[in-house]
Amino acid sequence: MNEATIHRQLCQYIRIKYPTVIFTSEPSGLRLPIGQAKKLKELRSGTKLPDLWIIEPRGRYFGLFIEIKAVSPFKKNGECKTKHVADQAVMLEKLRYKGYFANFATGFESCRNLIDNYMKLF
C-alpha cells in the first residue's frame, strides 16, 4: 500500500471514528500545474510539513501531526534513510518543541494506532 492510499484511508477512518474532530492534510504531495504549485508555496511557512494534522488538543498536546510512511523511514541503525526524511524529522522535532504530538508512522495500522492512542489522552 502506498502513502497516498494510507493517507486517504486514515482520513476516512477519522471521519467515521471521530466525526467531531477537525483535521486537514498537507497538499504538497499533489501534482499541480506549476502556477498553482507556486501559489500554494507562497501560502506556506516552509517545507517538510507533516502529511496529516489533527487539530484536537489532548493531554498536554495542542494537536497531532503525523508524517505518513508506507515503509520505515529509518535504517537498521536508527538513522534516517534520506536527507528528505532527516528534514522531516527536524520539522517533527520543531512541532514537538511547540507542544504538539508529532511523529512518523508506518503503514495504516501504525497510523491508526497512533491516532487512537492520542485520542485517548486526557
CATH number reported for the structural domain that contains residue 27 in this entry: 3.40.1350.10
Are the C-beta atoms of 26 and 54 separated by less than 8 Å?
no
HSE at residue 50, side-chain half, CA atoms within 13 A, is: 27
pLDDT at 112: 98
The domain of 94 spans 3-119
Q: In terms of DSSP bridges, do strands 64-69 and 101-106 run parallel, antiparallel, or are they unpaired? A: parallel
Identify the bridge partners of residue 102 per DSSP, sorted by sequence position. 65
Q: List the beta bridge partners of residue 67.
A: 104
Number of folded domains that form the chain: 1
pLDDT tens track for 9-32: 999 999 999 999 999 999 877 788
Checking 46-50 for CB contacts under 8 A at 24+ apart, the result is 46/91, 47/87, 48/84, 48/87, 48/88, 48/90, 48/91, 49/91, 50/26, 50/88, 50/91, 50/92, 50/95, 50/102
Give pTM, 2 decimals: 0.93
Could you tell me the pLDDT band of residue 41, with boundaries at 50, 70 and 90? confident
Residues 113 and 74: beta-carbon distance below 8 Å: no
Residue 70 has pLDDT above 90, yes or no: yes
Q: Cell 477519522 maps to which residue?
A: 14
